[in-house]
Amino acid sequence: MNQNQHQQASDGRHDDDAALSDFLASLMDYTPTIPDELVEHYLAKSGFQCPDVRLIRLVAVATQKFVSEVASDALQQCKARQAAVVKDKRDKQQKDKRLILTMEDLSRSLRELSIVFY
């Protein structure tokens, strides 16, 4: 690696460090959907303790994103399932357009996400 490439790599790392520091600082002003106390409780149950609120909130944000992805995917499963039912029973189902989320929809969503993560 020549001097110019080494300098660019060092600058890139510095930019990444600065962005991470800014992000962690912004977590202090953020109120997550999942309360800090709940995250701390489940982390403690798993044997993890950390006095840093930023880390607790980072776990809360990651958990919130995961739950959001599961719910969004389950909604898509529900819509697909109900669209198939509407094709079979056009007249009766046309009047009732409510979506009914089932455990089957949620299970499929979780199965698909587990394949992505593993």
Query: What pTM did the predictor assign?
Result: 0.69
Phi-psi region of 22 (alpha: psi -120 to 50; beta: other; left: phi over 0): alpha
The Cα 75–Cα 101 span in angstroms is 7
pLDDT tens digits in sequence order for the chain, 118 residues long: 555 544 555 566 778 888 888 888 888 888 889 999 999 999 999 999 889 898 999 999 999 999 999 999 999 999 988 887 766 665 554 556 788 889 999 999 998 877 766 5
